[in-house]
Structure 1
Amino acid sequence: MAQILTPTVQWQMRTSKYTGNASPITTKMWNSLVLKRKGTSKSSAKFRVCALKSGRGTVNRMEDLLNLDVSPYTDKIIAEYIWIGGSGIDLRSKSRTISKPVEHPSELPKWNYDGSSTGQAPGEDSEVIIYPQAIFKDPFRGGNNILVICDAYTPAGEPIPTNKRHRASQIFGNSKVVDEIPWFGIEQEYTLLQTDVKWPLGWPVGGFPGPQGPYYCGAGADKSFGRDISDAHYKACLCAGINISGTNGEVMPGQWEYQVGPSVGIDAGDHIWCSRYILERITEQAGVVLSLDPKPIEGDWNGAGCHTNYSTKSMREEGGFEVIKKAILNLSLRHKIHISAYGEGNERRLTGKHETASIDKFSWGVANRGCSIRVGRDTEREGKGYMEDRRPASNMDPYVVTSLLAESTLLWEPTLEAEALAAQKLAMNV
């Protein structure tokens, strides 16, 4: 992996001894990501320091402090407040000392940040208030330290435009939605890029690897690029308490996927956003750029999606397949509404090629990955189960997608005329 990060320079993995307490991923994983350079060449200050220091030098002493467990000395913890920035996809965070360990976000104080520096407020009235909404264990600092997912409000208590969680929580709080216990399983795809050239990891700079085929779930130095990052992220999410359920290499080399779920209601969005934050931090440590662009490389290469598996209590019970069909009918009638909310740049991905449906046409099918909505063979055979919305892009907001699915299938009712026409069209497409 080190040679891929800096393809023109040879690097050697550096190991160091450490006997103190550590968080679940910092000792072994971080040691494998701290590199020592052979020879001399221009590089970043970080790598020059590693090359010049050895034994119990500066880097090791800093590592000791980063891994230090402070719980024997103080009850205080560090809470990393995390929120979504002005683009609606960028994540921001800052740290705060809390007097004692907490178990629920209601025990944490509200905080504020400079919204004029994130594109979310004017300079003359820049204060944005963040409300703690969900907490996770901090896999970087370990101990009782926590990651805090927040949403953002004006000082008057109004949600700012990029706060999509507020609206989602209202939908998931509706009694009709609560009674149906909506489950979500989200498949987050992402691409790893080389830092300076912004070209996929493992690809020759300015060139292309062999065609797609051997890379999906592949193993080997010529097929798998970035496995250490994927594995580190997997373990970090488990440590944090994120409901991550699996991971795999994707069809395009340098592209990976992990799955989160099943999660109920608003938890799906909280878990995805926290998992994205952890992935950003790990790629930061590795010196690799994380991309959630839905089509990072034009041409005959797969894009990156965020397929969202969805079911309700009625779908999971006997006769659920008919409930799924009714939900699909509703989704067909609101196709344009969903597409407009399913991620920026998604039109470059949803072309009808590379396991996608056309962005302009709604379709569904059993075991068909070229449809808007896919229903599994097991669901068809058993007459109950779930469906997969394959339209969301990798950069979608999970609060928006999950709540929109719940709204369209549980709260919204089409007119009888529209329902009949949609049923007729869908029957012709299947």
Structure 2
Amino acid sequence: MNRQQEFVLRTIEERDVRFVRLWFTDVVGSLKSVALAPAEVEGAFEEGLGFDGSAIEGLARVFESDMLAQPDPSTFQILPWRGNGHTEQTSRMFCDILTPDGEPSAADPRNVLKRTLEKAADMGFTCYTHPEIEFYLLKSDKPGPDGIPVPVDQAGYFDHVPGGVAQDFRRTAVTMLEDVGISVEFSHHEGGPGQNEIDLRYADALQTADNIMTFRTVIREVAIQQGTYATFMPKPFSDHPGSGMHTHFSLFQGDSNAFHEPGAEYQMSKTARQFMAGILKHAPEFTAVTNQFVNSYKRLWGGGEAPSYLSWGHNNRSALVRVPLYKPGKGQASRLEYRGIDSAANPYLAYSVLLGAGLKGIEEEYELPPAAGEDISALTSAERRAMGHDPLPSSLHDAVRQMEESELMPQILGEQVFENFLRNKRAEWQDYRLQVTPYELSRYLGVL
């Protein structure tokens, strides 16, 4: 037994933890949980916890259903919304999913990201990420009488609302996040009514993905405590901005930022340019992963600064990839921001495909196209074509089709995750396209 495992067992005893929740995700990023009694934790460290993988979306087929959940002791945390004298003390650990012979499961999203990070390490890189997570705070999970969700306020970007529900919510949520070891950099009201953003501090990509899964749980728990409802749905309102998860990426070689080159344009190194070129080249192939729901394409093509075309720019917020404003004397802060990803994406798979595409650009020495200096959405279609700003997929159907034709995506995700993910998305599209929507009934029923 290693020291981290010993620390967990000692903490469970000293803090009188009564339940230990083991967390992992299915292929689309839904959080799964099983609670262990404290006496069973040591055995789970040694042998894993057996479960039926065929009951989890995308994890195993019926004839190979036996799987093991192996808790990662480095992720142990006491959950602050349990305990405090009201209920039994509860903690959580993330798990790696193993096959019965103890090998990492090829279908485990967390393992997919681990493999991608190992490839980066083989190339000499450590990947750091910094997500800006948007979500809506609503009065209920039910729409109002007009069929539209009801936000908790009518405030806008950076608005300060004395005594406001969202302000109290953010304060409680940030405190709870920090209680579980997640450092927060900023929090503020976003552009839509009831829309909020909380930005997490830089961490390595695996820790960030774990943090995002915890973040979503914390946000929903705080909302329930305060009698509201939090949603990470990409586009809950037709007339207001969608919720994204802009993520900043940087690669380090030891203590040196591989994206920084003093004197270069925007202080951006050749490595950074090749990484960005890889993301731009392969973005249409991985959009089904970063924007995995039917509703995601209402955000991408619904305006509100959501990027819809392949482009990059320096401080250009209409671009898909942005090079943030350089801070003089702070070369360690050099980074790239990918603005296409939804806050509802599976973070393990989304970061895998983004990092994998960027590494491919470095490996193959992709050439970066010219920067976009203008608002791309304001250009005509002919102007965009002439400048090489091809569109992202316009629907989940288009995104699935482009992912199916990709050679790189099955290499990054592995054939099993690749096929399981596509099967799930094809089924979602089939369900969606068979629906007769309120829009169709209101537009056609009375006139046709």
Fold shared by both chains (TM-score > 0.5): yes
- Contact (CA 8 Å) 2:275, 2:360: kept in 1 or not? no
Q: Secondary structure in 1 aligned to 2:240?
A: coil
> 2:318 maps to which residue?
370
- Contact (CA 8 Å) 1:79, 1:96: kept in 2 or not? yes
Structure 1: distance between partners of 2:143 and 2:19: 33
Structure 1: distance between partners of 2:225 and 2:113: 32
Distance change >3 Å, CA 402–CA 98, structure 1 → 2 = same
- Contact (CA 8 Å) 1:89, 1:397: kept in 2 or not? yes
Q: Does 1:273 align with 2:220?
A: no
> 2:299 maps to which residue?
349
Count of residue pairs brought into register by the alignment: 346
Deviation at 1:425, TM superposition (A): 8.8
| CA shift digits 1:150-193 (9 cap, x unpaired) | 24345455666762111110111236467322210011111223
Deviation at 1:368, TM superposition (A): 1.4
Q: Secondary structure in 1 aligned to 2:348?
A: helix
Q: Secondary structure in 1 aligned to 2:142?
A: coil
> 1:139 maps to which residue?
80
Distance change >3 Å, CA 245–CA 407, structure 1 → 2 = same
Structure 1: distance between partners of 2:107 and 2:235: 23
Unaligned runs of 5+ in 2: 1-10, 252-256, 374-386, 390-448
| CA shift digits 1:51-106 (9 cap, x unpaired) | xxxxxxxxxxxxxxxxxx9967x8665311122246x232232321224999xx99
| CA shift digits 1:374-427 (9 cap, x unpaired) | 1122269977711110000111121122222322223455767xx45x636979
Q: 2:340 aligns with which of 391, 404, 407?
A: 391
> 1:219 maps to which residue?
160
- Contact (CA 8 Å) 1:184, 1:310: kept in 2 or not? yes
Q: 2:250 aligns with which of 311, 332, 344?
A: 311
Q: Secondary structure in 2 aligned to 1:184?
A: strand
372-381 or 235-244, which moves further after superposition? 372-381
Q: Structure 2 counterpart of 1:140, which letter?
A: W
Structure 1: distance between partners of 2:229 and 2:107: 24
Distance change >3 Å, CA 375–CA 177, structure 1 → 2 = farther
116-125 or 249-258, which moves further after superposition? 116-125
Using the aligned pairs only, state the percent identity.
21
Unaligned runs of 5+ in 1: 1-68
Structure 2: distance between partners of 1:117 and 1:100: 23
- Contact (CA 8 Å) 1:108, 1:132: kept in 2 or not? no
Q: Does 1:423 align with 2:375?
A: no
- Contact (CA 8 Å) 2:232, 2:343: kept in 1 or not? yes
Structure 1: distance between partners of 2:55 and 2:195: 31
Q: 2:282 aligns with which of 320, 330, 334?
A: 334
Deviation at 1:364, TM superposition (A): 1.0
Q: Secondary structure in 1 aligned to 2:290?
A: coil
Structure 2: distance between partners of 1:116 and 1:100: 23
1:289-304 aligned within 5 A: 289-298=229-238, 300-304=239-243
Q: 1:321 aligns with which of 256, 268, 274?
A: 268
How well do the aligned residues superpose, as a CA RMSD in angstroms? 3.8
Structure 2: distance between partners of 1:177 and 1:272: 26
Structure 1: distance between partners of 2:287 and 2:126: 24
Q: Does 1:188 align with 2:133?
A: yes
Structure 2: distance between partners of 1:162 and 1:395: 20
Distance change >3 Å, CA 235–CA 425, structure 1 → 2 = closer
> 1:110 maps to which residue?
48
Deviation at 1:252, TM superposition (A): 0.7
> 1:403 maps to which residue?
352
Distance change >3 Å, CA 76–CA 229, structure 1 → 2 = closer
> 1:41 maps to which residue?
none
Structure with higher helix content = 2
> 1:174 maps to which residue?
119
1:54-203 aligned within 5 A: 77-85=18-26, 88-99=28-39, 107=45, 110-115=48-53, 118-119=56-57, 127-133=66-72, 134-141=75-82, 145-155=90-100, 163-174=108-119, 176=121, 179-195=124-140, 197-198=142-143
Structure 1: distance between partners of 2:142 and 2:162: 21
Q: TM-score, normalised by structure 1?
A: 0.68
Structure 2: distance between partners of 1:354 and 1:425: 21
Q: Secondary structure in 2 aligned to 1:341?
A: helix
Deviation at 1:286, TM superposition (A): 3.5
161-170 or 387-396, which moves further after superposition? 161-170
Q: Structure 2 counterpart of 1:374, which letter?
A: R
Q: Secondary structure in 2 aligned to 1:179?
A: coil
Structure 2: distance between partners of 1:125 and 1:335: 33
Structure 1: distance between partners of 2:146 and 2:206: 41
> 1:249 maps to which residue?
189
Q: Secondary structure in 2 aligned to 1:278?
A: helix
Distance change >3 Å, CA 293–CA 316, structure 1 → 2 = same
Distance change >3 Å, CA 183–CA 154, structure 1 → 2 = same
Structure 2: distance between partners of 1:396 and 1:208: 21
- Contact (CA 8 Å) 2:156, 2:190: kept in 1 or not? yes
| CA shift digits 1:235-288 (9 cap, x unpaired) | 111011123322211111112111122001311111111222222333333343
Structure 2: distance between partners of 1:280 and 1:289: 7
Deviation at 1:370, TM superposition (A): 1.0
Q: TM-score, normalised by structure 2?
A: 0.65
